[in-house]
Every structure is written in structure tokens, then in C-alpha cells.
Amino acid sequence: MARAHVQASPGVAREEPAVGRLASASASNAELAAHSIFKEFGLAMPIPISSENLETCKDFPYLKFSDWVRVLGKADMLEHLTGQKSFATMKVILTEFWKRYRALYPNHEVFRLADSGVLDLSCTIPVYTHKDEGRSSKKKPIMILTTQGALGKGTAAQRRRNARGVIKHTVKTTPMKMNFIGHTYTTRYMFMAMPRSVYKHCPDTFFTMLKLYASDMKSLAYDGVDVGRGNRIWVASLGSKGDWPAHVKSAGLKRSFQNVPKRATSKTPCSGICHLCLAGTEDFEEPENAVPFEDFVFLPEWLDTCNVKDPWVEEPAELEIPHDTSDKPSYFKPDFWHNLSLGAGKTRAANFCVMFNPLAAGTSVETRFEDMTADFNSHCSLMKRSAYMKEINREKVGFLKHVDFPDGHWSKGDVTTSLMLWMEKYGAQKIAESGSSDEILITMETCYN
Ligand SMILES: [Zn+2]
């Protein structure tokens, strides 16, 4: 791009030396060249790159969060971690934040540290860890570990409402906002990006890095970092976010979705499906002790079993970071949207497709699915959404035989969202057309309203 720019108007290279240098850089190793040019022209954050010798990778690079905080603090850019431009306002907001947090979670270790004078809550930034296995630009799996401020510049919806004057902050002195607005580079701070080739056959490499991360975060809570001008900043983690596979792996969870029984009976008792409670646990010797996970009543049995037994054999490495000692499993936060779009919502959408199939046009299950597919696709293009799933069919919804429970066989969460948007319209339309009085269909449709 720089080369094309300079060719089109040669004067640019003189006026904008950085663009000129980029234009003449070697295209065969453009990334390396870009790094040194960015650095030379002051366009790169001076975060030191740390490294660790792992069994499968020498000098594996990572960025300590303590280095991010120090560099951001010294550059007067802590607003990217708290949403507040001025240091003085930040202190007011953080004081109020921890006051409210203490009312909810008085047993978080951060309060013990504050009470004993180890840290100052007005200068302690609340953060979350995020673990996610994503895909590299070459579509290969890669494990990403980042840290983000719990507070930020708000959400786009909040900004729109504020612009219309609809919502005013209820507590004017403490406009605490969530951390959704802004480029990811300015709101999420990378610790490591580990290609699967490094951890696939050697899981210890991942745990070595997790331990390094935890001890750096612990030092941020106990010692903090000097950010210049006589100021010190501490950091306290509120929890670790991630999808279930990431939590199972990093915390060594023995109770998880991976144990969900697939059949009505089994030779081995289920050891539980949830790290937060004993839902799904079975005891063949004392069957009355079983806690059903399919319990959807208002006060289910599993509710009384929250936080009564650790879901791991060995305490996870991440718990070296100060946390709420009265409820350790809850340090690992479930991802609500993953649970919906690839969990309950997905099952619901698949069941909807099967239940409403008889109301579609056609002479067989297959042809009626084709009719539903056409309606779904046209609704998606109307909503300007990519359907991703091109066809609703027996395979996709998990309904090969009439005895099958339709559990949905797509892996993209967005498919569930598209289906749910369509279901709202399709369900109402089909019930009105057919005049059906089927209670299940009506319940499925009306629960959207
Ligand atoms: Zn549970």
C-alpha cells in the first residue's frame, strides 16, 4: 500500500519519511521491516518482550502484564485500563468500584491486602483474564491469553442512548462503564499467543506459561508497579473468562460438560457436569444422593450444591492470583454467550426446526426442511446476515431417526443467533396460518414475546 502511495505521488516519501521507508522495505520480510520502522518513528509501544525456554520451543516470547501496566502508566494512558482520562478521577472511580465490589464479595483477598496496607484500593485496577483457543491467519489453532480492564469506555448501545439523552448516569459521580468500546489493541493486552504445535504433544508448556502469568499477576497485587511521578498502581483480578474447553484444560476440571450423559443409563456413575455445583453427579450405592442436571424447576436441587466440593484434584495454577477465597470455583467464569449459542440456544433451535417441520410445505420431513431452508435463507438476506448454515436438514439438526434428540450439529454460534431471529417470525407465522392449538408449539413460539 505504501509503495502504491509513493508511486502515485512521489512527494509523499519526502513529506512522510515513515511512508517512504515502508515503500522501500523488502516485501519478502515485510513484518520484520515494519516492526523496526514503527519503532524508529515512535509508533510502537516500548513493551519489553520476555521469553521462556519451553521443551517444544526455545525463547518462547510473551508480554508480562506488569510491563503493560508500567508502560501505560508512565505514558499517562491508564484510561485504556480504567476508562478514565484523569488520574484523580480514576482514583475516585476505583474507590467507589471496590466499595461496591466489597459489598458483594467481601472475601476477595484484595480486601485483606488493602486492610493490611499492602495495596491502596484507589490505585488498584480490576481486571479479567481471558483464555481462548482461536485460529491463526493460517487457520491453525492458537491459544491466546490476554488481560483486560473490567472498567472501560462503555458499550455502543450505551453511547447511542446517551447521545439521544435517554439514559443519564444514576450515580453522576461514578460513571463506571463496561469495557466494550475501542479497538481490541487498546482494550485487550496480550500475554501470549501459543500455536498448537507448541502445546499439542506437551501440555506442560501451556501450564508453565500459565504459572508465569499467575506469578506476574500475584506480584501486581502484592507489589504493584511504579508508574512515575510518585504513583504506584496495583492490579486485582476478578476472575478468568473463557469457554468451557479452555477452563477444563487450564483448571483441570473434573466436573464439566465433557461428562454429560449421552444415554439414559450407564455403567459408570456420572461425576458431574458443572464446576460450580454438583449437577449431574450420581451415586450408584446411594441413588438418593444423585443431583439431576435436567432440573429446570424454580428451586432446583443442584442450587443447594453450589460451592460445596472442589471440581479439581489439584488447585489450578491461576489461583495463585489473589481471589475470593470463599468461592474458588467461581474464579472460572462461564461464558454466557457461548452457553447460549452453543448450548441451550442451539438445542432449542434444533428442536424448533423439528417441532415446526410438520407445519412447513412439503410431503416428507426432507421436503418440508427444504421449504424451511428457503424461508430461513430469505429471512437472513432480509436481515443482512450471513446464514453460514446453508441448509436446515436432518443431519444439521441432529434428527436422523425419529428417536433422536435434536441437539444441533453446527459449530458456529452465529448460526444459533440467525436461527433464533428467524424462529421468532416463522413460528408466529406458521401458528397463525395453521390455527394450531398445539400447546408445545404455542409455548415455543410465545416465549419469545
Ligand atoms: Zn452448576
Distance 40 CA to ligand 1 centre (A): 52
CA dist., res. 213 & res. 144, Å (int): 12
Distance 215 CA to ligand 1 centre (A): 29
Distance 274 CA to ligand 1 centre (A): 5
CA 358 to chain centre: 38
Q: Which residue has the higher pLDDT, 405 or 136?
A: 405
Q: How many Cβ atoms are within 10 Å of 77's Cβ, its own excluded? A: 13
313-337: pLDDT as tens digits: 999 999 999 999 999 999 999 888 8
Instruction: Pull the grid cell for residue 160.
Output: 447511542
Question: In the chain, what's the furthest Cα-to-Cα distance?
Answer: 84
Distance 445 CA to ligand 1 centre (A): 28
Residue 363: per-residue pLDDT: 95
Distance 280 CA to ligand 1 centre (A): 9
Distance 151 CA to ligand 1 centre (A): 27
Distance 278 CA to ligand 1 centre (A): 6
pLDDT at position 170 over 60: no
DSSP bridge partners of 52:
60
Q: For residue 352, name the pLDDT band (cuts at 50, 70, 90).
A: very high
Locate the domains of the chain by residue range: 1-44, 47-248, 337-446
Q: How many Cβ atoms are within 10 Å of 71's Cβ, its own excluded? A: 17
Q: For residue 172, name the pLDDT band (cuts at 50, 70, 90).
A: low
Across 440-445, average pLDDT: 82
CA dist., res. 433 & res. 417, Å (int): 25
Distance 281 CA to ligand 1 centre (A): 11
Distance 272 CA to ligand 1 centre (A): 9
Residue 449: per-residue pLDDT: 47
For 127-136, 162-171, 247-256, 388-397, which range has the lowest pLDDT when averaged over its residues? 162-171
Distance 354 CA to ligand 1 centre (A): 28
Residue given cell 447511542 in the structure block: 160
Distance 328 CA to ligand 1 centre (A): 14
403-426: pLDDT as tens digits: 888 989 998 889 999 999 999 999
Give this prediction's pTM.
0.83
Distance 306 CA to ligand 1 centre (A): 7
Distance 353 CA to ligand 1 centre (A): 28
Distance 253 CA to ligand 1 centre (A): 13
75's CB contacts (< 8 A; 6+ apart) are 45
Distance 105 CA to ligand 1 centre (A): 19
pLDDT at position 448 over 60: no
CB 422 within 8 A of CB 347: no
Distance 210 CA to ligand 1 centre (A): 25
Distance 340 CA to ligand 1 centre (A): 15
CA atoms within 13 A on the CB side of 407: 7
Mean pLDDT of the chain: 90
Distance 414 CA to ligand 1 centre (A): 25
